[in-house]
Amino acid sequence: MRDTRLLRLPGSRIRSLFGLPAAALLLLLGLLAPAATAASPPGTTAAADPVRIMPLGDSVTGSPGCWRALLWNQLQGAGHTGIDFVGTLPPQGCGVAHDGDNEGHGGELVTNVASQGLLPARLAATRPDIVVMHFGTNDVWSDIAPDRILAAYDTLLAQMRESNPDIRVLVAQLIPMNPATCAECGRRVVDLNARIPAWAAGASTDRSPVVVVDQWTGFDTATDTYDGVHPGASGDEKIAARWFPALAAQLESTPGVPGDPGEPGDPAVTCAASFRAVSVWQGGHQAEVTVRNTSAALVRGWTVTLRPADGARVSQVWNGSLTTAADGTATVSDAGWNGSLAPGASTAFGIVATTTAGSAAPAASADCAATPAS
């Protein structure tokens, strides 16, 4: 329980019995503690409970999972000081001061955690408000089908909501894999990641949202891992940078106030979008579209019109909402949590597109329209 303080009875309201003073009566009845706690000074209020954040996963999250240290300090620097990283595992070093509690168990499969019922006890011990989950790397390595992995996600999400009906979950599309002993792991990660946005959309509720965070796009196993699987220093930086805006959005609850950019007379808001192919295979490709606020005012939302070249069709989008016209033009709007952009700030969404045989290198024109602050 978050508040275990005993109810205090004001002495002025206690009447004597058989002529005994009120304090003596309380001692007689065993209701007065041997050492009373001093009353709080007038006008003071109890500090709000910190938001409890559980980093959940396998050795990418723990062992040592130094992206957590970077993320913790980024949040602190942005003013999110009322937070508490929680987990049944202690810090694993990293040489950076941070709150290192976590639930990143090296070697664990998410399917085993679900089938063996390992999560409920961990939830009971830590009581998270937000879960940051990168889980499934070992399942992919073990050639477990995406259907089974997503079914395990269902089980874990149900257990989280049983622990806290208002829990919020950030779920990662996994970082790439290219271990020397698993030639197919790279493709398996792509297959799983392609399924996660639809799973999250079906699982999310207004009370307990599930938000997808793309950890795959822009991550290079050659430079960002030390073994094709586990992040090195640059990989930790990229992972923390991807978690930060999504987690900060969950922590922020104060909308714009009068005087914010966007009032009459303020400059118009503008944005720009750029397309970059990150993976190509026979019959399709994956790409990243970066959206940047190019104005001096706050952007509250954005819409990108994407026109793929050479007959390509956008089939999937994450970190955005997709509408496709008959001619193949794709319109992608922000996902809510990534719509607000400060001047000069940027965000990104990912796409998967299908192509015809003999298509040229992936390309697309991208136009951006911004929504001003209201």
In this prediction, residue 265 carries a pLDDT of 46
- Residue 259 DSSP one-character state: T
Q: What percent of the chain has pLDDT over 70?
A: 83
Round to whole Å and give the CA distance between 2 and 347: 36
Distance CA(122)–CA(114), nearest Å, equals 12
Compute CA 355 distance to the chain's CA centroid, rounded to the nearest angstrom. 32
3-state secondary structure 66-134: CHHHHHHHHHHHCCCCCEEECCCECCCCCCCCCCCCEEECCCCCHHHHHHCCCHHHHHHHHCCCEEEEE
User: To which H or E segment does residue 236 belong?
Assistant: helix 233-251
Q: For 182-211, what is each residue's pLDDT tens digit?
A: 999 999 999 999 999 999 999 999 899 999
Question: Where residue 345 falls among pLDDT bands split at 50, 70, 90?
Answer: confident
The whole-angstrom distance between residue 183's C-alpha and the CA centroid of its chain comes to: 29
What mean pLDDT comes out for the span 10-18?
33
The confidence score (pLDDT) of residue 373 equals 66
pLDDT in tens, 144-177: 999 999 999 999 999 999 999 999 999 999 999 9
Chain centroid to Cα 227, Å, comes to: 25
pLDDT digits (tens, 9 = 90+) for 42-68: 333 335 789 999 999 999 999 999 999
β pairing state of 51-57 and 130-134: parallel
* The pLDDT value given to residue 252: 78
| Cα distances (Å, whole numbers) of residue 371 to 251, 255, 258 | 22, 15, 17
Nearest to 2 by CA among 37, 48, 56: 48
Closest CA to 245 of 138, 101, 342: 342
Q: Output the pLDDT for position 261.
A: 36
pLDDT category, 125, cuts 50, 70, 90? Answer: very high
Dihedral sign (CA 125, 161, 111, 315) = negative
Tens-place pLDDT, residues 290-344: 998 888 788 888 999 999 988 899 999 998 999 988 888 999 999 887 888 877 7
Mean predicted lDDT score pLDDT of the chain: 83
- pTM metric for this prediction: 0.62
| pLDDT value, residue 258 | 33
Percent of the chain clearing pLDDT 90 (strictly above): 60
